[in-house]
Every structure is written in C-alpha cells, then in structure tokens.
Amino acid sequence: MKIVLRNPRREVEVQGPVTVSRLLERLELNPESVLVIRGDTLVTRDARLADTDDVEIRPVISGGAA
Amino acid sequence: MKCRVCREPAVIDVRRHNAGFCGEHFVRHCREQVRRAVDEHSMIEPGERVLVAVSGGKDSLALWDLLVEAGYDTDGLYLGLGIGEYSDHSGAAARAYAGARGLKLHEVDLAADYGYDVPGAAAATRRPPCGACGLSKRHLFNQVALERGYDVVATGHNLDDEAAVLLGNVLRWEAGYLGRQHPVLPARPGFARKVKPLVRLGEREMAAYCVVRGIDYIVEECPMAEGNRHLAYKEALNALEDRSPGTKAAFLLGFLERGHERFAGDAVEEREDLGACTECGSPTTGDVCAFCRLRERAGALHSSGAPDVTVELRR
C-alpha cells in the first residue's frame, strides 16, 4: 500500500495487510505522536489496512517554545 | 475498537482514558474537556468578549471552533510572522476557516505594521527565533485585546505544550516560572486576562478534532522551530506516554492541583512597579518594554521617542 508521510512529505510502499499498530512499529513511529488516516477517515490502532488502501501518517507534534 | 459511548466503530483511541470514540462522541468528549477547563479555572464569564489567538494550526483553529460551538462571543487575531511560505500557508488557513464560517478575523503583520519579521529579529538579536516570536505574540495579542475591548485572550496551548513547558521548568528548577505556570493569568492594569482552554486535551486529540470536523489546518511544522528544546521535551514525554498512558496528564494536572500553589510565592513578579514604555506606552519594569527593545535591535525602531509606524488593524 502507499503510505504518505509528512514533514517532509514523502511516500513509502508497505506490504499489506497490516494493522496500524504493526505499521507504526515497522516505521519506528510513536503512536502518540501521529494520526493514521485511511482515505479521509481516521483509523484506530487495531484497524487492519489492506494493500489497496491509501494511507496518510500525519504528525501531530508542533510548536515553538513560546 | 468500539466507541465507548455508542459501541459503533471508533475513529480515535485515547489511551489515557482507556477509550475509543466515534466521530460524534469524540467531538462531545473534546467539548466536555474544554467545558471542564473553563469552569474549573473560571476562564471566561458569560457575556465576555474573547479574542482567540489564531495561527492557522490545529490547536488554535480547534480552539476557535470549540469556543464558537460552546456559544462564546469570539473573534480571531492572526499575526503575520514573515516566515516565508509557512506564514503564507498558515494565514490562508486562518482566513479560510474564518471566511467559511462568517467569523471576524483581525490581522496584524509584523513586517508591514512594525517593520521587522521573526527571521530578521532572530538574526539581529542572535537569539533563537522562538524567543522573538513568543515575545511578539504576547505583546501584540495583549495590545489588540486592550485596544479593541476584549475581556480575555484565549490561546491554543494544549496539554502537551503545557506538560513540555512544565518539564523544562522542573529540569531547571525555575521556581518563578513554576509559580506562574497556570491556565489562567488574571487581568491586571495594562494586561488582559489570558486563558488556555485546551489544557485538558492533547495535541493528538486536537489534530483528530480538526480531521473529524473537516477543519483544514496547516500540517507543516514551523521551519524555525526545528530542533528546539521544547520539541525534545515533547518527544521524551511521548516516549513515557507510550509506555504508560496517562503520564502527561498526571504530570501536568497533578502539578496544577497539588504543585502549583507551592511555587506561587516564587512567581516572577514582573508586573510589579510597572511604568509606561517610553516608546509605545505598554507596561514595563524599565524605560522601554521588551517588545520595543526587540524592534530596536531588529532595526525597526529609531530612538526618536515614538513609534515610527502607525499601526492599524487590517480588518
């Protein structure tokens, strides 16, 4: 499946099916610091992603110190 | 995973509450957390006018949306920082949100109205850009609130922001800052009340709220913030949170409930014995306030004794 990552924007291919939790483990991403969006819908960590899904992994950490 | 409330499929898991939510009940969850924060800390009284500091990011747009939905009388204020495409995109997001909902958005542009921008100020002062950015925001949000008759300034600082600041203050035992770290800074002569209604919601929840509500926000990170210490604190806290859900909330909310009062006497009393800035008239402990000193160092203010630009809000 095609995975879009942000900041910087890039794409990676991952073999499905795979759960969101396993996908984040593979990509070494902390689930607390991202949202996973399939199409235009949020999915939870136990969701199973199919090879045909378009998936965005969106970082949520932001901000300066001010 | 099922929604804790209705048992329909969940779209978001909130591990510190050991719960999943469908879109509808997640929005209700966010509204309830804001209501609790506002009520617990007496942030906004009925009938008060609220100026929302809007950056175009997830937190400030979610905050504005939550306050509007709760029925508060709100307008937004966007501050153009002059950070290249990032500022272009963030301004567009703020305008699009306000325009689509018929909300009033004030705008101030640092370069056009004050003669400097954040990258220029950082270079001139040889200090991290976040310092110049934060100082400019604090000064101008307060100034616009006072000039335009707002009772309170609301900012989108969330649980993660505040927990990271708390960690930084604890690591250095900044007792004065610990005494001042609170979701409400009361109004005083020359200062509007400042409140942080998102203090019970994490930034993952705020990003999810925007996705569920269909709010387009600027996802890209400020290029000036890259590598700063605040982000490192957030990463450390998220590593702990992943292992032990609820750690961030226990750290911050526990401090507010049981720790803050112990440092109240150490609070930095920067607002005592205030005079008027000789340049802009704002309250200051010296002759010239920190904002005007920043402008002077950035080459935007000349020692003429008066501001060299007349500022008018754009909308």
ipTM for the predicted complex:
0.94
Question: CB-based contact (8 Å) between A59 and chain B?
Answer: yes
Contacts of B8 in chain A (CB under 8 A): none
Q: How many C-beta neighbours within 10 Å does residue B304 have?
A: 8
pLDDT top residue among A36 and B229: A36
Least-confidence region, from B67-71, B123-127, B132-136: B123-127
User: Mean of the pLDDT values across residues B72-100?
Assistant: 97
User: Mean of the pLDDT values across residues A18-22?
Assistant: 97
Segment B13-38, tens digit of pLDDT: 999 999 999 999 999 999 999 999 99
Catalogue the E-assigned strands of B110-205.
152-154, 184-185, 193-195
- Please report the pLDDT score of residue B5 as a whole number: 98
A49 contact partners, CB below 8 Å, separation of at least 6: A1, A16, A17, A18, A19, A20, A23, A38, A43, A55
Nearest to A66 among B13, B134, B239 (CB): B134
Contact B222 A64 (CB under 8 A): yes
Confidence of residue B305 (pLDDT cuts 50, 70, 90): very low
Of B18, B77, B233, the C-alpha closest to A45 is B18
- The domain spanning residue B55 has which CATH number? 3.40.50.620
Contacts of A61 in chain B (CB under 8 A): 160, 203, 221, 231, 234-235, 238
* Residue at B10 is within a domain: no
pLDDT top residue among B306 and B207: B207
Work out the minimum CA distance from B140 to partner chain A, whole angstroms.
14
Contacts of A65 in chain B (CB under 8 A): 128, 130-131, 134, 165, 168, 225, 228-230
pLDDT top residue among B305 and B97: B97
Nearest to A65 among B138, B228, B239 (CB): B228
Work out the minimum CA distance from A16 to partner chain B, whole angstroms.
20
- Please report the pLDDT score of residue B271 as a whole number: 54
Contact A46 B1 (CB under 8 A): yes
User: Mean of the pLDDT values across residues B83-104?
Assistant: 97
Instruction: Give the containing element (helix H, strand E) for B211.
Output: helix B203-213
Position B309 pLDDT exceeds 60:
no
Decide if B312 contacts B148 (C-beta within 8 A): no
Nearest to A32 among B57, B161, B238 (CB): B238
Confidence of residue B270 (pLDDT cuts 50, 70, 90): low
Question: CB-based contact (8 Å) between A28 and chain B?
Answer: no
Instruction: Please tell me whether residue B14 adopts helix, strand or coil conformation.
Output: strand
* Residue at B8 is within a domain: no
Position B173 pLDDT exceeds 70:
yes
State the total domains in chain B: 1
Least-confidence region, from B75-79, B124-128, B141-145: B124-128
Q: What class does CATH assign to A2-59?
A: alpha beta
Q: Which domain holds residue B226?
A: 43-272
Position B314 pLDDT exceeds 80:
no
- Please report the pLDDT score of residue B268 as a whole number: 60
Position B228 pLDDT exceeds 80:
yes
User: Mean of the pLDDT values across residues B210-232?
Assistant: 91
User: Mean of the pLDDT values across residues A21-47?
Assistant: 95
Position B306 pLDDT exceeds 80:
no
Nearest to B242 among A32, A35, A65 (CB): A32
- Please report the pLDDT score of residue B269 as a whole number: 59
How is residue B146 written in tokens?
A: 């006072």
Q: For residues B162 and B168, what is the distance between their CA atoms, to the nearest angstrom? A: 10
Work out the minimum CA distance from B135 to partner chain A, whole angstroms.
8
* Residue at B263 is within a domain: yes
Quote the percentage of chain B above a pLDDT of 70: 94
